[in-house]
Amino acid sequence: MNLCVIGTGYVGLVTGCVFSDLGNEVVCVDKDADKIAMLERGEMPIYEPGLEELARRNVEDRRLFFTQNLHKAVEHSDVVFICVGTPPLENGDPDMRYVEEAAKGIAGALNRYKVIVNKSTVPVGTGNRVREIIDRHKRHDVDFDVVSNPEFLREGSAIKDTLEPDRIVIGAPSQVVAMKLLELYAPLERPMIITDVASAEMIKYASNAFLATKISFANSIANICEAVGADVVQVIKGMGMDNRIGPAFLNAGLGYGGSCFPKDSSALARTAEKVGYDFKLLKAVMEVNKEQPVRFLDRLKTAMSGSFEGKIVGVLGLAFKPNTDDMRDAKSLEIIANLLAGGASVKAYDPIAIENTRRIFPQVCYMHNAYQAAEGADALVIVTEWNEFKLLNMERIKASMNVPLIFDGRNIYDPAKLRRLGFEYHCVGRPSAPLK
């Protein structure tokens, strides 16, 4: 099948690479000339494990192409995927300008029947909006259909999530149209659900909002555990063994970040507001998430004698999660900004995301490894739970620090072990280990 994928971000690039690997001819389109030039050189504009190798193989086999020419790509295709960004506006609504631009571009190139697939995360009603735009701007009297096919990718495991999704959601105006997408996804042999377009659009928002709710609930329980002397790790383990609850997305920490949960929760709350429903639960979820790093920073300041002024703080982990270089809504940004504003010097290390962070905070000292970040530090803060941080030589870390103080925002260490090694150790929702 001939496919056109509009947008070469996480969703578009992974979608294009995977579908080409399944034997389709795929043209990925982006208006960013520099990004297309990178891709044509075999360089990836994002970090995603396995993506570069997947792209290279399919480019060499002439199944995957990159271009700025939207018109030609749409003309050549049977199915067109809209995979552009929908970043949040100040009021919480998603910015729909890129989706609308894509719809206008498709309209200008529509030369025969095609299925237009919204894969971007969009509010309910966007399918109708895209249809209206294409109808109004199309140059030829040809038919088309608009389908919703939301993605459920996790950065860091996006290829696996595309090849082995829990479910494939297809929102289509009829069974006949849905069959076109069913044919495309059939090689994956995964569970599929066919709905109307509006329901498919809502499934994506509802799913992400519910996962955000689980995270904020776990963090609320952690805050209570700190006050009563309980261990949130054990509490969550006991909860997660209940099949009705499950262990996923219940890890206490600094809260959720990234490109999906924050903006999708805000967008769903705004949708509810527009139809006259006060979504109090989701508002509370977002408020808990907003407060979590503030609580963490307040505790850190207290442990550092009430001030960051003149202190050296090592920060381990910058990306919003492991196995990605994505800095969107990363908790490290808020933590570093507060440390700098308080007069601290920051030494930071991340395996992948240093260059992206350097563009935001050029004044931070970026280290080549975790040991350099800890050297001479008055405190070491764990922000992202990269596996390599779990296996550090903690005796070497302690020997190099000015003050053996660790604030673990991801609960990756054993408090009892660090206490034995002589650290003052603070984490989230577990008893602290102060120096005696």
- Active-site positions? 260
Question: Beta-strand (E) ranges in 128-282?
Answer: 144-148, 168-171, 192-195
**Beta strands across the sheet bearing 144-148:** 64-67, 25-29, 2-6, 79-82, 114-118, 144-148, 168-171, 192-195
Q: Under a CB-based contact definition with an 8 Å cutoff, are residues 153 and 118 in contact?
A: no
- Cα separation, 2 vs 373, whole angstroms: 49
H helix or E strand, kind and range, residue 349: strand 345-349
Are 343 and 308 spatial neighbours (Cβ–Cβ below 8 Å)?
Answer: yes
Contacts of 406 (CB under 8 A, 6+ apart): 379, 380, 381, 382, 413, 418, 423, 424, 425, 426
- Residue 139 CA to residue 106 CA, distance in Å, equals 10
SS3 of residue 204 by DSSP: helix
DSSP secondary structure, 240-279, as one string: HTSTTT-STT---SS---SSSHHHHHHHHHHHHHHTT---
Which H or E element spans position 284? helix 280-303
Residue with tokens 């070491």: 380
HEC string of 115-138?
Answer: EEEECCCCCCCHHHHHHHHHHHHC
| Tokens describing residue 35 | 């990004």
| Residue type (1 letter), 317 | G
Amino acid at the residue 422: G
Owner of token pair 């006259």 = 276
